[in-house]
Amino acid sequence: MENLEGTSWYMDPEYQDTGDVSMKVDLFSYGVVVLELITGKKFYDNNRPAENCSLLSMFMRSQVLKTADLIDPTLDRNEETLRSFEKGPGLACNCCIRDTDQRPEISNVMGVLLPLVHSWKPLENV
């Protein structure tokens, strides 16, 4: 196996372990970035309590908590913003599943995202 390059928290764990590249390697990184954008936090932070070191573990536990509580507090929490986050965290968490065979196909990810893009309206007076 050759030397792997990249930021470890953005790299697919299976790729880190084996060096094997699959169609789903980038989905892991995508999921990490989406979780960071939603929360405004780094994916992994040793300064958070052990059960919350990883954003993935925070969102997996959010089935008990309200996902809205995990959204970046600097974002406007109006109804439209909260509605736009209904599918994002779940999709991102599925992209971050360790086993690549359990991750969605890119076509599934696009199927979730396309309706959001089509319903997006640019802000006026910006």
Per DSSP, the residues of 1-20 read -PPP-S-GGGS-HHHHHH--
Handedness of CA 104, 105, 110, 111 (dihedral sign): negative
The predicted structure's pLDDT at residue 95: 92
Residue-wise pLDDT tens digits, 34-88: 888 888 888 888 888 887 788 888 777 765 456 677 788 888 777 777 777 777 8
The predicted structure's pLDDT at residue 22: 82
Residue-wise pLDDT tens digits, 99-115: 889 999 999 999 988 88
The predicted structure's pLDDT at residue 64: 46
The predicted structure's pLDDT at residue 71: 81
Residue-wise pLDDT tens digits, 2-29: 565 667 777 888 877 887 788 888 898 9
27-42: string of b/e by CB count within 10 Å (b at 16+)? bbbbbbebbbebbebe
The predicted structure's pLDDT at residue 20: 79
